[in-house]
Structure 1
Amino acid sequence: MKILYKVINSKWLQHPVFWVLSIYVIGDYFAISNSLQFIDYFYALLFHISLLFLVYVNLQVLIPRLLQKGKYLFYALFVAILLATTYSLHELTFELLLPLLPTEYYMVSFTDYKVLVTIFLIYLVLTTLLKLSKSWYQLQRVEKEKLSIELNSLKSQVNPHFLFNSLNSIYSLALSKSEQTAETVLELSNLLRYMLYEVGDDKVELSKELEMLENYIELQKLRSDQSTKVTFNISGDPSDKHIAPLLFFPLVENSFKHGVKGVSDDGFITIDLELNEGIQLNIKNNKGLVDDMEKGKYGGIGLENVKRRLALIYPNKHLFEVIETQTDFEVKLKIQ
């Protein structure tokens, strides 16, 4: 299929097909009888000398150098010059070139200038639109490929970032010989299975994403202080909704990372998810202690990742807000 697609979209096939059809149309339009004869095709071939000049000067010179660079006045001026030159070339073809050809046919350009200019304008406009539409299509395809590459890159950042923090937690539990170590490893295994095998698509079922999110919260509770109050409230039905995978994880992870570290007895994390015609996520947590690593460049990976993915996947269809006070940190996300 890819080979067939490349062949169909090859200019080496498109251009000959276009000109063969054009010769047939011109020959049929100027035919001297009800059925096409050799003389009609011969006349059409001579007629196309000026058409070829018109089309390819426009395609190869005027459009890329003037029109696509926004030089519209210069483009209009040179189009007028091109039309006049094409008309002159057409007349020269039948007045000078045809008498030099060893042919038994006697032909003249019996078309008046209004009809000629109309035909030239039709070809000019048609080929310009085809060129611009093809350029637009190629641009969209390139942008889509770039978008796909960037999204995959951003998605892949989530896994190592999450894994890095989770392994640190397991390491801490192992050092203290906690009985929760094995359970934590199991929870991490379930989450990694989801990340590896179920988030390959652009969108996933929201219900599955929330299930994994609940597992992640339970995993984080294992290493959190028992006095930390963690609540996760969901209102609405997620069964008929889809969302970009791993979009909520960095936000929830960030709340645990910054909200429970070094907290004595007043730590809290509140996660509220409202599902109506859109999706609204509010996460609020207290500020815990921040170590040197979090003060540096590693601290902002999660939020910047989410912002970039939102801009790429939900352009003009989301609202992302960060509210920070001396004691609390809150993020609000709305997706239409």
Structure 2
Amino acid sequence: MNASKRKYLPQWLVHTFLWCAVFGLIVYPFFLESRSIPFNIVVKWVMAVAIFYFNYYYLVPNFLLRDKMKTYIGISIVLLFAVSYGLHNIFPPEMPKSFAPLVERMKERREARAPFRFSLMPVVSFAVPYIFAIMLRVYTELQRNENLRKTVEKEKVQSELQFLKTQLNPHFLFNSLNTIYSLSVKKSPHTSEAIINLSELMRYMIYEADKDLVPLDKEIEYIKSYVALQRLRLADSENVFLKISGDDSNKIIPSLLFISFIENAFKYGTDYQGKTMVKINLLVQEKSIQLYVINKIGKQRVKSENSGVGLQNVKNRLNFLYPNSHFLEIEDDGENYEVNLILNL
């Protein structure tokens, strides 16, 4: 199920709007008092923008985010003090003409001081956008890494699910071929029908089951075809029941999710005399699907290393696809084997 893509404004447009807003707040008092905008304010604003993006695109990625903390701090201190000192002396603050006597006294005091006269206020004014650049870049990198982690995790889950499905398909094909083989040995007239039935099953597996999600009604048709194929194989199929109830339209589920439980029931629900007892009940409700399968355990049940491969696979798939939204209960009392699965849609 693909999430709808959200539309965001381009990053450059957002940054342009913010910087224009900041500049507007700075020059607003001058417009309010009908004064001309001092040239030094425009220059310092441009320099603040330049420092911000130099820090954002170069210093933070190449030093701070690469664990070169001491180098980054050293470069930052030198940069802030150098820019602040240079601009403060090249473009000193402009004062209104009414402040002329005060300006003259300040000049006299500055001339009486050492040549390296300086105030910390310009450093603070440039440090604010500088620190904001750090915060924004670190947050952006954390967000990007989190998105990358989720993407890698999703791809890992998808690859694991695909691997489980590739394990399931050959397992199912092997069992189906055994069914047709048993019919051919018996020279059953239903052999050709079974081959056609298997071809329909394989068509579904090739063209539909490779999708992540399939319509529920197609999956149900697949189950019906499988049960029909098993009935052809069995000598006694009177106790094979398949009941499907509910509205299966407009619902989608992961492909091949139920077949392992049904396949397992037929595999172990037949004794050495060919007598079988398998009951399958699939109930489709508005917000849930319930699968109930019960089979009589055959007396001559043979366990092998590969037995239960399909069941383990479908358990893993359920944990991946329906975490905390499914219920699976399996009971084996030695005589009956019951599976009760509920999916919350």
TM-score scaled by structure 1? 0.74
Q: CA deviation at 1:193?
A: 0.8
> Contact (CA 8 Å) 2:216, 2:252: kept in 1 or not?
yes
| Inter-CA distance 202–253: structure 2 relative to 1 (3 Å threshold) | same
Shift of 1:87: 5.2
The aligned runs of 1:62-81 (5 Å cut-off) are none
Candidates 304, 309, 314, aligned match of 1:306: 314
Which one has more relative contact order, counting CA pairs under 8 Å at least 6 apart? 2
Determine if the alignment matches structure 1 residue 180 to structure 2 residue 190.
yes
Name the TM-score, length of structure 2 as normaliser: 0.73
- Contact 2:242–2:280 (8 Å) recurs in 1: yes
Find out whether 1:272 has 2:262 as its counterpart: no
Q: Does 2:230 correspond to 1:220?
A: yes
Which residues of 2 match residues 312-323 of structure 1 at below 5 A?
Answer: 312-323=320-331
Q: Deviations over 1:28-64 (max 9, x none)?
A: 4778998998994686347744764577555456557
What per-residue deviation string (whole Å, max 9, x for no partner) do you get for residues 208-266 of structure 1? Answer: 1111101100100111231651111122111132111111111100100111142565x
Task: Supply the distance in 1 between the matched residues of 2:309 and 2:247 (Cα, whole angstroms).
Answer: 31
Q: Greater Rg, structure 1 or structure 2? A: 2
Residue in structure 2 matching 1:329, options 337, 340, 345: 337
Could you tell me which residue of structure 2 aligns to residue 89 of structure 1? 79
In 2, the alpha carbon distance for the partners of 1:295 and 1:65 equals 55
In structure 2, the residue matched to 1:290 is 301
Counterpart for residue 233 of structure 1: 243
- Distance between the aligned counterparts of 1:44 and 1:23, measured in 2? 14
Secondary structure at the counterpart of residue 119 of structure 1: helix
| Structure 2 counterpart of 1:257, from 264, 267, 279 | 267
What displacement does 1:85 show?
Answer: 7.3
**Mapped contact 2:51–2:130 kept (Cα < 8 A):** no
Q: List alignment gaps of at least 5 residues for structure 2.
A: 1-10, 94-118
Amino acid at match of 1:203: L
Written as runs of structure 1 = structure 2, the 5 A alignment for 1:206-217 is 206-217=216-227
Q: Hey, what's the Cα distance between the residues in 2 that align with 1:21 and 1:231?
A: 69
Structure 1 Cα separation of the partners of residues 204 and 38 of structure 2: 67
Letter in 2 for 1:231: F
Counterpart of 1:311, as a letter, is: N
Alignment match of 2:204 (pick from 194, 199, 223): 194
The answer to whether the Cα contact below 8 Å between 2:88 and 2:122 also exists between their aligned partners in 1 is no
Which of 151, 173, 196 lines up with 1:141 in the alignment? 151
Are the aligned partners of 1:274 and 1:281 in contact in 2 as well (CA < 8 Å)? yes
1:54–1:82 Cα contact (<8 Å) kept = no
Identity %: 32
Equivalence for 1:243: 253
Query: Which of the residues 95, 109, 128 maps onto 2:138?
Result: 128
Aligned-pair Cα RMSD in Å: 3.9
Counterparts of 1:256 and 1:299 in 2: how far apart (Å)? 13
